[in-house]
Amino acid sequence: MSSLHISLIQTQLFWEDKAANLLMLEEKINSISQKTEIVVLPEMFSTGFSMNPSALAETMDGPTVQWMKKMAAEKKIILTGSVIIQENNEFFNRLLWVLPNGTIGHYDKRHRFAFAGEDQHYSNGHKRLIAQVKGWKINLQICYDLRFPVWARQQSDHEPEYDVLLYVANWPERRNHAWKTLLTARAIENQAYVVGVNRVGEGGNGIYHSGNSMVVDPLGEVLYHKEHEEDIFTIILEKNTLTEIRNKFPFWKDADDFHITQD
């Protein structure tokens, strides 16, 4: 059974300064010396969680996407994180899944954070993205999606739909208890690894982020947790551990049968 090497980058961000963020993140990615296959960056990693998309948005041919393709190719990694994208006169908080060969998958944030006005500036996505790597299936989501368990719920009645649930975030410190609790809950209820990558530091809007990036195993045990500090951490997820847990505790077989409308 295969193992999967994932690197989490918990970092401060320069407010609405793409050039500074990309330079800083390039240095951090280049500093990863151990084997890694996936590198995860926070939500809106090139700008911070900004409600100014008209000034900051790029197209899928823009410099941030080109930078991601360059880094993925040079480091032979899958690089993922969300950026502000403009498409068909709409703005999206879009998670990009960039392969070393230049192929890009994307997921547009389904649940916009109305409390901060995200619904006034960004269009919502309609479809989930479950990527595949080395026989692993990875469900990719963004920040506020974490509060909506139906959107993350395993749907297959024959076998679990995915193996890893991954969240990129700009989740504020004042609600970090919810972040940590819900990451653990999503792992337990879906019998999957959960990876949550958050930023640290204060944004230009005066909101402080404490990080609390985490990796949780399918039983809800926390394998990694870092608070307040910047950190780059690579973890190895084991497929045989996941399979053993699901075989020993086949709770997924008793789940309710339902279907999410994604249109």
- Confidence (pLDDT) at 98: 98
Average pLDDT over residues 155-175: 93
Question: What average pLDDT does range 158-185 have in this prediction?
Answer: 97
Question: Can you tell me the distance from the alpha carbon of 49 to that of 160, in angstroms, rounded to the nearest whole number?
Answer: 33
Residue 93 has pLDDT above 70, yes or no: yes
Which residues on adjacent β-strands are paired with residue 58?
A: 85
263: pLDDT confidence band, cut at 50, 70 and 90? low
| Average pLDDT of the segment spanning 139-166 | 94
State how far the Cα of 213 lies from the Cα of 208, in Å rounded to an integer. Answer: 14
Q: How many CB atoms lie within 10 A of CB 247?
A: 8
Token pair 């879906």 in the structure block, residue: 190
Check whether 107 has a pLDDT greater than 90. yes
What is the Cα Rg of the chain in Å? 17
Ramachandran region of residue 191, left (φ > 0), alpha (ψ -120 to 50) or beta? left
Let me know: does 52 contact 116? Beta carbons within 8 Å: no
Residue-range domains of the chain with CATH: 3-254 (3.60.110.10)
Contact 144, 179 (CB under 8 A): no
**DSSP per-residue codes, 129-155:** EEEEETTEEEEEEEGGGGG-HHHHS--
| Residue that the structure tokens 């699901």 belong to | 246
SS3 assignment, position 106: strand
Mean pLDDT of 88-104: 97
239 catalytic per annotation = no
Spatial CA neighbour of 98 closest among 126, 121, 75: 75
Q: Give yes or no: 43 in active site.
A: yes
- Residue 75 a catalytic site member: no
Please state the rounded mean pLDDT for residues 166-184.
98
Q: Which residue out of 18, 37, 43, 226 is catalytically annotated? A: 43
| Sheet containing 3-10, strands listed edge to edge, beginning at the edge strand earlier in sequence | 104-108, 90-98, 78-87, 38-40, 3-10, 231-238
Helix intervals (H) in the chain: 18-30, 53-56, 63-75, 118-121, 149-152, 176-190, 239-248
Measure the CA dihedral 30/143/94/115, to 10°: -130
Q: Which two tokens stand for residue 21?
A: 């963020």
Strand partners, 133: 136
pLDDT score for 1: 60
**Summary mean pLDDT of the chain:** 96
Q: Which amino acid is at 160?
A: P
Average pLDDT of the segment spanning 156-177: 94
Q: Which of 18, 37, 118, 143 is catalytic?
A: 143
Whether the predicted pLDDT of 21 surpasses 70: yes
Q: Choosing from 18, 37, 58, 109, which is the catalytic residue?
A: 109
Query: What is the average pLDDT across 193-213?
Result: 97
Instruction: State what percent of residues in the chain have pLDDT above 70.
Output: 99
pLDDT of residue 86: 98
Taking only the tens place, the pLDDT of each residue in 229-262 is 999 999 999 999 999 999 999 988 888 888 777 6
More confident residue, 79 or 260: 79
What pLDDT is recorded for position 230? 98
